[in-house]
Amino acid sequence: MPDRSGQKLTGVISASVLLRQTEAVCRRAPDVVLGLSGGVDSGVAAELLVRQGYSVCGALLRIPGADCPREDALAVAQAADIPLFELDVGEAFERIVLRNFAREYAGARTPNPCIVCNPGVKFAALCELADELGAPFVASGHYAGVRTAAGRAELLRHASGKDQSYMLYRLPQSQLGRLLLPLQQMGKASVRELAREWALPVAQKRDSQDICFVPQGDYAAVLERLGVPMAPGDFVDGEGRVLGRHEGIARYTVGQRKGLGVSADRRLFVTKIDALTGRVTLQGSEALLCSRLALSDVVWTSGEAPKQPVCATVKLRLGPREHAARVQPLGERGALVLFDRPVRRGAPGQSAVFYDGDMVLGGGVIDDAAL
């Protein structure tokens, strides 16, 4: 395997070799480049791929300011006897993820940075390294499935409650078509059991619950560092009457109930955030119900929008709950979701993902949460 230490690749990453493999295995190009995060899921995925006969190369993404557990990734690569590259994706992460994160919050929206990162940074970097090394496949430890039908890749939900297909819905055919998901048929308990059985060095490591660049979930600190204004403003009720003061619209999201600091005789939720006036509207939970949502930046897993409305179930957040609806494509990148019955709406900036049974049809970003 050639030494690409510090070499700049084609625009997304620069790569350096952290761990070389045995000379005998390095004589041929790897079959698959696997994203190694240093966690138990990617660790078991690496071992599964090796045991299935694949020649595997690991890749650890380095993001400035993020928790990138290099030592754990190195330990996993050593245990599986695979080479490990460290990929510096800092410039791409800043341009694609952080700027969008700051812009959306400043505009009174709540983005999901992991959904943006997956196609634009993570899998783009894995595919780029795979192309450089001559590997036909990339892989990750996500809990989802892929299959090929009629010459196209299909993204599938995972059978367990850990399903992460929602987070991968924006992957294009160019990435899905070469993606291996070794945990496709395994639940979290089985993954943990295998990690212990194989004595993997990360077998007892706890799952991370935070976004990688938001330690301890302190969004406000990150947003302030990114230059997002935190000007105080008014909390108001549905009639515009002032209920109190807030500490900046970027600290709140539609649907939020906790941490408002407003006394009332009933539970209040954030139902609207106005970026122009700085007002945050608080109302009862009934004001969060809606029958339809307008979406923008819609992608379809097949690569083509349907010509007619489609019946689907729709997820408005990561988790098992979904809602029956009809999805009507609008123009090139829009859609209107018409629910069979009123649902508690998602926040503008979050994603709505469409399913046909176990298959992901596509999804888009919520624009208007109260049409």
Which residue(s) pair with 272 in the sheet?
281
DSSP 3-state assignment of 278?
coil
- Sequence-distant (6+) residues with CB within 8 A of 345 are 254, 255, 288, 289, 290, 293, 316, 366, 369, 370
Q: Active site residue: 26, 57, 212, 290, which one?
A: 212
Using alpha carbons only, give the angle 77, 203, 24 rounded to the nearest 5 degrees.
20
**Domain map (residue ranges) of the chain:** 7-141+182-197, 229-283, 289-368
As a whole number, mean pLDDT of residues 339-363 equals 96
Beta strands in 112-218 (DSSP E): 137-139, 145-149, 152-156, 179-180
Q: Active site residue: 57, 117, 290, 311, which one?
A: 117
The percent helix, strand, coil of the chain (3-state, each to 5) is 25, 30, 45
Asked whether residue 23 carries a pLDDT value surpassing 70, the answer given is no
As a whole number, mean pLDDT of residues 307-334 equals 93
Tell me, yes or no, if 57 is annotated catalytic: no
pLDDT reported for residue 20: 57
Tell me, yes or no, if 117 is annotated catalytic: yes
CA distances from 237 to 232, 272, 275, 360 (A): 17, 10, 16, 38
pLDDT reported for residue 331: 87
The answer to whether 321 and 303 have CB atoms below 8 angstroms apart is no
As a whole number, mean pLDDT of residues 189-200 equals 94
> Where does 229-283 sit in CATH, by number?
2.30.30.280
Asked whether residue 9 carries a pLDDT value surpassing 50, the answer given is no
Average pLDDT score, the chain: 89
The answer to whether 141 and 118 have CB atoms below 8 angstroms apart is no
Which position has the higher pLDDT, 369 or 262? 262
pLDDT reported for residue 7: 43
Which position has the higher pLDDT, 270 or 209? 270
Kindly indicate the confidence band of residue 16, based on its pLDDT and cuts at 50, 70 and 90: low
Residue 57, CA atoms < 13 Å, CB-side half-sphere: 33
As a whole number, mean pLDDT of residues 285-297 equals 95
> Cα dihedral sign for 132, 137, 140, 144?
positive
Crossing angle (nearest 10°) for helices 40-51 and 188-197: 70
Q: DSSP label at 251? A: G
Asked whether residue 149 carries a pLDDT value surpassing 50, the answer given is yes
As a whole number, mean pLDDT of residues 114-123 equals 96
pLDDT reported for residue 184: 94
As a whole number, mean pLDDT of residues 242-270 equals 93
Single-letter amino acid code for the residue at 83? P
Kindly indicate the confidence band of residue 211, based on its pLDDT and cuts at 50, 70 and 90: confident
pTM above 0.75, yes or no: yes
Q: What is the pLDDT of residues 69-105, one digit of tens each?
A: 788 999 999 999 999 999 999 999 999 999 999 999 9
Question: What CATH homologous superfamily does 7-141+182-197 map to?
Answer: HUPs (3.40.50.620)
The answer to whether 33 and 135 have CB atoms below 8 angstroms apart is yes
Question: Which residue in 232, 267, 228 sits closest to 109, CA to CA?
Answer: 228
Q: Which CATH architecture has domain 289-368?
A: Beta Barrel (2.40)
DSSP 3-state assignment of 33?
strand
